Amino acid sequence: MNIELLPSRSKHQYFRGNLHGHTTHSDGALSPEDVVKHYQQLGYDFICLSDHLWTNKDYCAPDVLDSSSLNTENFITIPSAEIHCLGKKYVRDGLWHIVANGLPLDFLPASDQETAPELVNRALQAGAFVTIAHPDWYSLTFDEIMSVSHAHGVEIFNNSCHIEAGRGGGIAAADYLLQEKHKIVLTATDDSHFRINDAGGGWVMVAAKELSEQALLDALKKGQYYSSTGVEILKFSINEKKVQLVCSPASHVCVAGSGSSSKYHNGQNLTSVELDLTNFNSDWFRITIIDCIGRCAWTNPIWI
């Protein structure tokens, strides 16, 4: 029996969005209005203005930005924040960075006593889609990753960290959690501040019933999307243990699983690939697709 691992494009609409970005509400260079205009011009359907939420007034805001006045019929914003608390090793000010999409506007900054696991739990209880931000950028340790393993997912790609520090990845952090049997999802984001050209580098394509905050959040939490820096995934399904993938032209299709389990298919202008996982020694897998100029797409992990 053929099972769709991504919702069919014939039955669902896909919406392009950025889950992590900043404005002058915190330390971004552009106003919320100008950020919205920029993403509209790039062809996005929604964004999350996730300004820093913390008590340091130098680069953080004391409240969640209300951007509802910027919503239109064809473009929406989701109330979000990059939430912080103390206790992180290997970073300035010892601050954790956690992205929470779909926060209530009265969500408060962490106190000096609130821990990262507690902050993640509070955001989850508030109904947010919660992800671990840029783990490579500030050298998230194994113990730190495990302490916030109840988050929904991990940033697999952060565009700003990629072009400013060469530390935009999150594969190690994601795979640590997967190896430990945590059923996480993956996201690609911009973390745009507009001090440089850091918008439009990483995004999610979400299969939702409609362009609304709740429909998008529901789909994100269910993993009904893929992440990308430029490659399109048009179909992702499995029949028995044979995975079928249809995508925009690619050069490498890589399957990763538990331990060092992997499979691959290399070539030129690959648009349709079948991968037999019959003897794949893993109870989960995720797929990375890479095109000839290094752009990628990532599926969410699938548990067999």
pLDDT on residue 229: 98
Residues 81 and 13 in one domain: yes
Q: How confident is the model at residue 1 (pLDDT cuts 50, 70, 90)?
A: confident
Q: How confident is the model at residue 132 (pLDDT cuts 50, 70, 90)?
A: very high
Following CA atoms 160, 166, 167, 170 in sequence, which dihedral angle do they give, to the nearest 10 degrees? 90
Q: Which two tokens stand for residue 62?
A: 């004391």
Residue type, 213: E
Q: Say if 60 falls within a structural domain.
A: yes
pLDDT on residue 92: 82
Percentage of residues in the chain having pLDDT higher than 90 = 97
> To the nearest whole number, what is the mean pLDDT of the chain?
97
CA-to-CA distance for 79 and 16, rounded, in angstroms? 17
Residues 238 and 204 in one domain: no
Residues 193 and 248 in one domain: no
- Which one, of 11, 35, 2, lies nearest residue 209 by Cα? 11
Residues 216 and 248 in one domain: no
Q: Say if 4 falls within a structural domain.
A: no
pLDDT on residue 142: 97
Residues 160 and 280 in one domain: no
CATH of the domain at 161: 3.20.20.140
Q: Say if 3 falls within a structural domain.
A: no
Residues 125 and 268 in one domain: no
Q: Is the dihedral of CA 296, 299, 301, 304 positive or negative?
A: negative
Predicted TM-score (pTM) of this structure: 0.98
Q: Say if 2 falls within a structural domain.
A: no
Question: Do 267 and 260 touch, CB atoms closer than 8 A?
Answer: no
pLDDT on residue 304: 87
Q: Which of 182, 197, 228 represents a domain boundary (last residue)?
A: 228
Q: Which two tokens stand for residue 66?
A: 């209300």
CA-to-CA distance for 176 and 144, rounded, in angstroms? 11
Q: In terms of residue numbers, what domain contains 140?
A: 9-228
Give the number of domains in the chain: 2
41-88 pLDDT tens trace: 999 999 999 999 999 999 999 999 999 999 999 999 999 999 999 999
Question: Do 224 and 7 touch, CB atoms closer than 8 A?
Answer: yes
